[in-house]
Amino acid sequence: MMSTKSLSYSKTFRSLFFIFISILISFILYGKSINGAFVYDDFNWAGRDDLRNGTSFLKLWGEPYIPDLNENGTYRPLTIFSFAVNFSLFGDSTVSFHLINIIINGLVIFLAYKLILTLFQDEALAIITAIFFAFMPIHSEAVAFIKSRDELLRSLFILISFILFIKATTDCTAIRWKLIISSLVLYFLALLAKESIVIAPIQYAALLWIRKDYPKKLIFKVILPFVLITSIYLMIRFLVLGPFAFGYDNLTFVLNPIRQVSLLPRIWTTFAITFLYISKTFIPWNLSATYHYKHLEPYYNPFQSITIFLGILYLTALICLVIYKKTRNTPLGIGALITVTSYAIISKFFLTAGEIMAERMFYYPSLGLAMIAGFFFTQIYRKKKTAGIILLSGVLLIYSVITINRNTIWLSKRNLGESMVRDAPKSIMGHFMLATVEFNERNYEKAKEHAQKAYAINKTMPSLLHLMGRLAIAEGRYDLAEKLLKKSLSQSNYREVSKYLAYALAKQGKYEESLKLLLPYINNDDSQIKLLAGTIYLKLGKEEVAKKYLKWNDDLQQFEEQKILDGF
């Protein structure tokens, strides 16, 4: 008979082996993404000097995801902290960012295995579910897109929290409070990685309710600490974000077309989105990096598309699995519970904040669907072993080809833009992305072509108006640039828009108006703003003030002053 010590070593070795295999699978599927550049939303943090020099390590815990932009409605200090540490340890190379994402994904795969094993003590079910989860192509955005580390980190911490919670509450007559506290800490870390995991205490309470022997008073007692820590977290969010802390943001109609529609159209559209998430999880056809306007538009009546009815059907089926007595305490019911509750917070049924849809957001909710699929594959495997292996292997082979190919989308901004135009030709975002790429490469005619295509789809997108304003500056059409940039600024109070509008005004001799735009940002670490402000002060004859913002040379002549302004 094996001794307790030997059994412990055996379990440790087994866990280490499964961790190694999980990370290896992650590298096989996503290794192609390692050389990918910073793209898209990465630039909300990738350009920050304070994340590179360590000056923000403490400050970032008390500021929004994008500093000085509470209106974005996001507070994810742990994710930003991980990026800052990344810069400090490994420098600017994106390789380390991708490597860490891949490793975290591998750990999540392992934790998916451990969760199923802890819940059901079924090794085959745990392995099959974890492998199915690992290969899902809908995860490619969450792993290959650096910014999506928030999805990976929240999943990592909440899965450890979930496992500890289950172990702590296995015996209702002997709650293990030390494990509850550990679970609580990890839940809080998950919240600091991404706020959408705030639904976890409901998952935990529902899991206890599913177990018939749990008294309601004891459920309340066990869940109360999670409610309290959630309240503390929400208070911190309010202190940091103000009124944008609770489901409000400044995202435009283009990014979320249903935020401005009435209740019923929002519900019909959300059912259609439910269908898209679930169907694309199992049948990864026409995956896309953009679901923005006009690729996914609001549905104004329930008969507008069959996808609405299919979404209702899917959601109803999942809810039935949770409440039906014969399934609720099985992988079917608990899998449905994880999916429904996790999806509820990112759906638009209750809150309208955030993008209308993004595949990366379904990373954690898809674990429940993987559990359901794992249950069926396990049943087939146990009845007909060979058939089960062949069927699962065939599905995984197809999934792996799709996943590996989708890595290339996130290798560059051009790849991303081209994929958006290919997968979602009606979407404004693809043409905008390509216009940005061409502009940065100084291919102004091509940039203008894509910008005009995007503008034909929607004329109100602030970032598009900003880009078109900069294109007008490149063409020397400063009056047109002023018009476009003012329109952009009226919808989004971004520093970059103010900076280029100030430049367009300065080029027209409107110095006082230009300075007024620059003054709120003049003490920030933006050398371009200081250069422009200093040059304008020279134009106004305020030489002493100009010296504060320019690297002063007493021999500076008037034509050189003009050269500084032209070169901005």
The residue written with tokens 């990366």 in the block is: 360
535 against 31, higher pLDDT? 31
pLDDT at residue number 367: 98
How far is CA 535 from each of CA 476, 507, 513, rounded to the nearest angstrom? 19, 11, 14
Question: Does residue 527 register a pLDDT over 60?
Answer: yes
Confidence class for position 6, pLDDT limits 50, 70, 90: low
The DSSP line for 47-82 is: T-GGGTSSTTTTGGGGS-SSTT-GGG----HHHHHH
Q: Please compute the mean of the pLDDT values over residues 366-380 and round it to a whole number.
A: 97
Question: Does residue 561 register a pLDDT over 60?
Answer: no
pLDDT at residue number 480: 96
Tokens found for residue 409: 């989308």
Confidence class for position 564, pLDDT limits 50, 70, 90: low
Confidence class for position 212, pLDDT limits 50, 70, 90: low
Among 115-119, 319-323, 426-430, 544-548, the range scoring the smallest mean pLDDT is: 544-548
Dihedral sign from CA coordinates of 505, 508, 512, 515: positive
pLDDT at residue number 4: 59
pLDDT at residue number 403: 97
pLDDT at residue number 526: 75
pLDDT at residue number 97: 96
Q: Are the CB atoms for 355 and 328 separated by under 8 Å?
A: no
Confidence class for position 552, pLDDT limits 50, 70, 90: low
Q: CB count, 10 Å around CB of 255?
A: 21
pLDDT at residue number 548: 81
Q: Please give the share of the chain, as a percent, with pLDDT higher than 70.
A: 95
Confidence class for position 213, pLDDT limits 50, 70, 90: confident
The residue written with tokens 């065939």 in the block is: 394
Confidence class for position 215, pLDDT limits 50, 70, 90: confident
Q: Please compute the mean of the pLDDT values over residues 60-72 and round it to a whole number.
A: 86
Count of helix runs (H) and strand runs (E) in the chain: 24, 0
The residue written with tokens 């000097």 in the block is: 49
Question: Does residue 554 register a pLDDT over 60?
Answer: no
Confidence class for position 553, pLDDT limits 50, 70, 90: low
Three-state secondary structure call for residue 419: helix
Q: Please compute the mean of the pLDDT values over residues 375-404 and round it to a whole number.
A: 96
pLDDT at residue number 195: 94
Q: Please compute the mean of the pLDDT values over residues 349-370 and round it to a whole number.
A: 93
The single-letter code of the amino acid at 18 is F
Let me know the angle formed at the C-alpha of 387 by 384 and 391, rounded to the nearest 5 degrees. Answer: 135
Residue 447: which of 455, 436, 462 has the closest Cα? 436
Residue 356: which of 458, 248, 258, 460 has the closest Cα? 258
Task: Please state the pTM of the whole predicted model.
Answer: 0.90
Confidence class for position 492, pLDDT limits 50, 70, 90: confident
| Average pLDDT score over the chain | 91
461 against 4, higher pLDDT? 461
Predicted confidence (pLDDT) per residue in 279-298, tens digit: 999 999 999 999 999 899 89
Tokens found for residue 10: 């055996």
pLDDT at residue number 530: 85
Predicted confidence (pLDDT) per residue in 158-209, tens digit: 999 999 999 999 888 889 999 999 999 999 999 999 999 999 999 999 999 8
- What burial letters (b/e) apply to 310-336, b meaning 16+ CB within 10 Å? bbbebbeebeebbeeeebbebbbbbbb
pLDDT at residue number 555: 55
Phi–psi pair at 120, nearest 5 degrees: -125, -5
Q: Please give the share of the chain, as a percent, with pLDDT higher than 90.
A: 73
426 against 103, higher pLDDT? 103
Residue 444: which of 472, 418, 412 has the closest Cα? 472
- Can you tell me the distance from the alpha carbon of 323 to that of 315, in angstroms, rounded to the nearest whole number? 13
pLDDT at residue number 562: 54
pLDDT at residue number 23: 97
Confidence class for position 251, pLDDT limits 50, 70, 90: confident
The single-letter code of the amino acid at 235 is M
Question: Does residue 1 register a pLDDT over 80?
Answer: no
